[in-house]
């Protein structure tokens, strides 16, 4: 490591921790104090450069750090104590790991002499977190702490981003060492490849020129790498339609004529049909999860597949690839733009026009809905979209039916505006993530669209909002069920609604108990006024929308089915399955 040439000071480990965060440019952290990290909290007491947000549960701290990272592009930071505090971070770490966002989680640990002795509030956090983080450290000496912190931020933010854990024994925090913060990091075994191979890029372009039915699949890597502008330019040059994964939402403008929107299990019918019938699929920063591919043996059988990803382990992991390109999406797409040949593009322009016309015909296939006297949840989300789309808001979600409806209905034209749990599907993610998102983007409206099941998992973070006046607006789509599970029980388990009905508290009274604003809506004519009032009210707000209990998410591809077998509604849906054209 190259050392920064500054005056050398002897500091405690707790002081070194604070100085490292300042040197790293960290201004906001989310945490919960405890015995072994009180020396850090004592240093934070007089620290004016770092804002600390006291969460109500350590899981909330990690989700908030991830929400902060998702909207800002900067690493999020969480600080928790040892034992149960550290163990409570596991879900948040796994969520950030699967979705690929950079956070650094600092955990306290019992004194080094007590490790392995079953001391009070001891847990082997390094062993526990090994499968669900990008890297982790147990700091063994105070003199190593600064270098480890620098390495942690480097690893979290480079290559495929992800969470890094630093476990800090109490004696490391009380011990003293010379503080030298490294200027650079050199890790011989860790050298992510950012530049795609020129020959592979040329092969990819040739395939796209010759394609008659091309399709781009926009994944979360487009957003992580900041490649959205390059993707827009390439799509316009080649005149290719774009579908997106859930994590790729916002990587390509949702209102653009080339956008097909969400693909996969609950993807748009036309996006699924385009994927099933394309002859060249260009996947950018996507990992081909089972929710996107459906039945693997039937996925894009007749298509040539180009896949670019900065993580070489993601390429051909699930789907065999014809042209692999290991590299950063932004650089790869920029290199492709540099070699665009207009003459080659013109050769198949007529065929591509026919392809776009076919996709437009598929767009005529609409989901069949059943009208009831109760409020329709899709209509509520559609009104949220209509009333907020011009405000450039950050929209967070929990996990479930409301999440899929939001992904289908809300058209995101900018990256880092949609914050949701993709790979892990974490109920309880959205609210604390919205807290972090609002801290990261204080001047933007931040809305958490939630289900009545998910919101109760981390609803205690309303206290964090109230104490710090974090103006998150929570819109609960309250159907009285664990809706997505109930939907599966209706279709696949003969309507045996086993333990899916759920009772909720009075959310209006709950909001008021925390010092927030609560609103209840049971009629469609009240929806617009409630949304407007929530947006105009200072501080956190909960709006409880009482909606139809038995509405289901369509389109729907059942697990194990090809993605062209799309159910489009409850009535006669078996007759609406897609077929290969």
Share of the chain above pLDDT 90, in %: 95
Same domain, 253 and 106: no
Q: Tell me: the pLDDT tens digits for 268-314? A: 999 999 999 999 999 999 999 999 999 999 999 999 999 999 999 99
Same domain, 14 and 144: yes
In a domain, 190, yes or no: no
Same domain, 354 and 385: no
8 A C-beta contact, residue 182 and residue 2: yes
Residue among 255, 477, 243 at smallest CA distance from 359: 243
Quick one: pLDDT band at residue 7, thresholds 50, 70, 90?
Answer: low
Same domain, 515 and 383: yes
Give the chain's end-to-end CA distance (angstroms, integer): 58
Quick one: pLDDT band at residue 8, thresholds 50, 70, 90?
Answer: confident
In a domain, 184, yes or no: no
Expressed as residue numbers, the domain containing 447 is 377-546
Same domain, 167 and 226: no
Marked catalytic residue, from 58, 66, 398, 551: 58
Question: Quick check: 432 pLDDT over 60?
Answer: yes
Q: Please say which residue of 144, 179, 214 terminates a domain.
A: 179
Q: Tell me: the pLDDT tens digits for 42-70? A: 999 999 999 999 999 999 999 999 999 99
In a domain, 193, yes or no: no
Q: Which residue bears the tokens 């994927």? A: 275
Beta strands 394-397; 446-451: pairing state: parallel
What is the pLDDT, as a whole number, of residue 161?
A: 98
Q: Please say which residue of 338, 362, 386 terminates a domain.
A: 362
8 A C-beta contact, residue 562 and residue 295: yes
Same domain, 388 and 523: yes
In a domain, 371, yes or no: no
Residues 6+ apart with CB under 8 A from 109: 36, 82, 86, 115, 122, 125, 138, 167, 168, 169, 170
CATH number of the domain bearing residue 165: 3.40.50.970
Question: Quick check: 581 pLDDT over 60?
Answer: no
What is the pLDDT, as a whole number, of residue 576?
A: 35
Q: Please say which residue of 179, 212, 235 terminates a domain.
A: 179
Same domain, 222 and 155: no
Question: Quick check: 4 pLDDT over 90?
Answer: no
What is the pLDDT, as a whole number, of residue 575?
A: 36
Please confirm, yes or no, whether 130 is among the known catalytic residues: no
What is the pLDDT, as a whole number, of residue 105?
A: 98
Q: Tell me: the pLDDT tens digits for 143-190? A: 999 999 999 999 999 999 999 999 999 999 999 999 999 999 999 999
Same domain, 358 and 392: no
User: 558 — phi, psi (to 5°)?
Assistant: -65, 150
Same domain, 439 and 512: yes
Neighbours of 539 (CB within 10 A): 16
Residue among 45, 2, 44, 12 at smallest CA distance from 179: 12
Marked catalytic residue, from 22, 121, 295, 351: 121
Q: Tell me: the pLDDT tens digits for 20-43? A: 999 999 999 999 999 999 999 999
Cα separation of 423 and 388, whole Å? Answer: 27
Share of the chain above pLDDT 70, in %: 97
Marked catalytic residue, from 205, 375, 427, 484: 484
- Tell me the DSSP string of 275-314: HHH-SEEEEES----HHHHBSGGGSSTT-EEEEEES-GGG
Marked catalytic residue, from 134, 150, 160, 170: 170
Quick one: pLDDT band at residue 374, thresholds 50, 70, 90?
Answer: confident
What is the pLDDT, as a whole number, of residue 149?
A: 98
Please confirm, yes or no, whether 484 is among the known catalytic residues: yes
Same domain, 245 and 129: no
Q: Tell me: the pLDDT tens digits for 99-131? A: 999 999 999 999 999 999 999 999 999 999 999
Same domain, 253 and 329: yes
Mean pLDDT of 483-504: 96
In a domain, 237, yes or no: yes
Question: Quick check: 97 pLDDT over 90?
Answer: yes
- Tally of domains within the chain: 3
Asked which of 3-7, 73-77, 87-91, 105-109 is least confident by mean pLDDT, the reply is: 3-7
In a domain, 403, yes or no: yes
CATH number of the domain bearing residue 249: 3.40.50.1220
Q: Tell me: the pLDDT tens digits for 377-386? A: 999 999 999 9
Marked catalytic residue, from 3, 120, 354, 391: 120
What is the pLDDT, as a whole number, of residue 580?
A: 26
In a domain, 567, yes or no: no
Same domain, 391 and 444: yes
In a domain, 572, yes or no: no
What is the pLDDT, as a whole number, of residue 578?
A: 33
Q: Tell me: the pLDDT tens digits for 533-567? A: 999 999 999 999 999 999 999 999 999 999 999 99
Please list, residue by residue across 207-230, b when 16 or more beta carbons sit within 10 angstroms of its beta carbon and e when fewer do.
bbbebebbbbbbbbbbbbbebbeb
Mean pLDDT of 68-76: 98
8 A C-beta contact, residue 508 and residue 518: yes
Please confirm, yes or no, whether 170 is among the known catalytic residues: yes
- pTM for the whole structure: 0.95
């Amino acid at each position: 490591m190259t050392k920064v040439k500054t005056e050398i000071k002897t500091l405690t480990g707790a002081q070194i921790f604070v100085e490292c965060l300042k040197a790293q440019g960290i201004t906001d952290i989310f945490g919960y104090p405890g015995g072994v990290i009180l020396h850090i909290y004592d240093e934070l007491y007089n620290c004016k450069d770092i804002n600390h947000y006291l969460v109500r549960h350590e899981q909330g701290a990690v989700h908030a750090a991830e929400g902060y990272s998702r909207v800002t592009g900067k690493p999020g930071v969480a600080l928790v104590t040892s034992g149960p505090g550290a163990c409570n971070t596991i879900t948040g770490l796994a969520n950030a790991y699967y979705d690929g966002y950079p956070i650094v989680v600092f955990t306290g640990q019992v004194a080094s002499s007590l490790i392995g002795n079953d001391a009070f509030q001891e847990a082997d956090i390094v062993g526990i977190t090994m499968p669900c983080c990008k890297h982790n450290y147990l700091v063994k000496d105070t003199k190593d702490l600064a270098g480890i912190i620098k390495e942690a931020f480097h690893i979290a933010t480079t290559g495929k981003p992800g969470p890094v854990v630093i476990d800090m024994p109490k004696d490391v925090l009380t011990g003293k060492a010379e503080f030298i913060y490294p200027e650079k990091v050199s890790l011989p075994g860790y050298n992510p490849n950012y530049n795609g191979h020129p020959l592979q890029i040329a092969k990819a372009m040739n395939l796209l020129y010759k394609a008659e039915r091309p399709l781009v699949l926009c994944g979360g890597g487009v957003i992580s790498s900041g490649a959205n502008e390059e993707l827009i330019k390439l799509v316009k040059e080649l005149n290719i339609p774009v579908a997106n994964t859930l994590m790729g939402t916002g990587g390509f403008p949702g209102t653009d004529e080339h956008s097909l929107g969400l693909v996969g299990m609950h993807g748009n019918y036309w996006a699924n049909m385009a994927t099933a019938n394309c002859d060249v699929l260009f996947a950018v920063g996507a990992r081909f999860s089972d929710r996107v591919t459906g039945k693997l043996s039937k996925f894009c059988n007749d298509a040539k597949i180009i896949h670019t990803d900065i993580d070489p382990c993601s390429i051909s992991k699930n789907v065999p690839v014809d042209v692999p390109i290991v590299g950063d999406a932004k650089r790869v797409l920029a290199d492709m733009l540099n070699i665009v040949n207009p003459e080659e593009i013109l050769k198949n322009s007529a065929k591509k026009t026919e392809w776009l016309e076919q996709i437009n015909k598929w767009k005529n296939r609409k989901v069949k809905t059943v009208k009831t006297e109760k409020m329709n949840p899709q209509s509520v989300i559609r009104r949220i979209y209509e009333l907020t789309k011009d405000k450039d808001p950050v929209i967070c979600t929990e996990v479930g039916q409301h999440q899929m409806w939001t992904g289908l209905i809300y058209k995101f034209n900018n990256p880092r505006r949609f914050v949701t749990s993709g790979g892990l599907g974490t109920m309880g993610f959205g609210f604390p993530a919205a807290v972090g998102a609002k801290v990261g983007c204080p001047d933007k409206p931040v809305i958490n669209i939630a289900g009545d099941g998910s919101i109760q998992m981390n609803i205690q973070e309303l206290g964090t909002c109230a104490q710090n006046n974090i103006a998150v607006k929570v819109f609960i789509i309250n159907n009285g069920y664990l809706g997505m599970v109930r939907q599966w029980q209706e279709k696949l388990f003969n309507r045996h609604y086993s333990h899916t009905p759920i009772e909720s508290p009075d959310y209006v009274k709950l909001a008021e108990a925390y010092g927030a604003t609560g609103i209840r809506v049971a009629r469609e004519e009240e929806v617009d006024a409630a949304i407007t009032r929530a947006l105009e009210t200072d501080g956190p707000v909960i709006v409880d929308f009482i909606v139809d209990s038995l509405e289901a998410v369509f389109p729907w591809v059942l697990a194990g089915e090809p993605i062209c077998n799309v159910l489009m509604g409850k009535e006669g849906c078996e007759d609406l399955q897609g077929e290969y054209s």
